[in-house]
Amino acid sequence: MVEELIWKYALVNAYTHKGKANPKAVIGKVLGENPELRPKAKEIIPLVNEIVEKVNSLSIEEQEAKLREIYPEFFKEKKGKKEEKRGLPPLPKAEKGKVVTRFAPNPDGAFHLGNARAAILSHEYARMYDGKFILR
């Protein structure tokens, strides 16, 4: 079971890093997924080094074929990953046309980047909900 896990992470690491797996990264993944193996780390490290050496000796095509054989979910997960949606999160209970935001800079200091960020966020929320932005 441990060997299969090491092969899996060694192949994933090699596949994502141009055919060269990093033993430290593989050990981190193995112990991170199975914290109960941490007391046996000294026994696992030589095994990881041996398997990583074998993986690194394979060509990239062989690595991919072996990875598809033992962990086909990796390719499904990778394909299914969509680009994360960018933008502002929705405002709770906000209605189109009824959102009113304002920006009132305080006179207690110089205008700075934090002020600009607040003004832009307020303006974008007003625009997003076809509302009103008041600049004071």
Tell me phi and psi for residue 132, to 5 degrees.
-120, 135
Q: Supply the mean pLDDT for the chain.
A: 88
Question: How far, rounded to the nearest angstrom, does the alpha carbon of residue 42 sit from its chain's CA centroid?
Answer: 29
**Where in the chain are the domains?**
2-80, 100-135
Whether pTM exceeds 0.75: no
Q: Tell me the average pLDDT across 102-107.
A: 81
The answer to whether residue 94 scores a pLDDT higher than 70 is yes
Helix-strand-coil split of the chain, %, nearest 5: 60, 5, 30
Question: Nearest CA to 119 among 94, 102, 97, 132?
Answer: 102
Instruction: Read off the tokens for 36.
Output: 């109960």
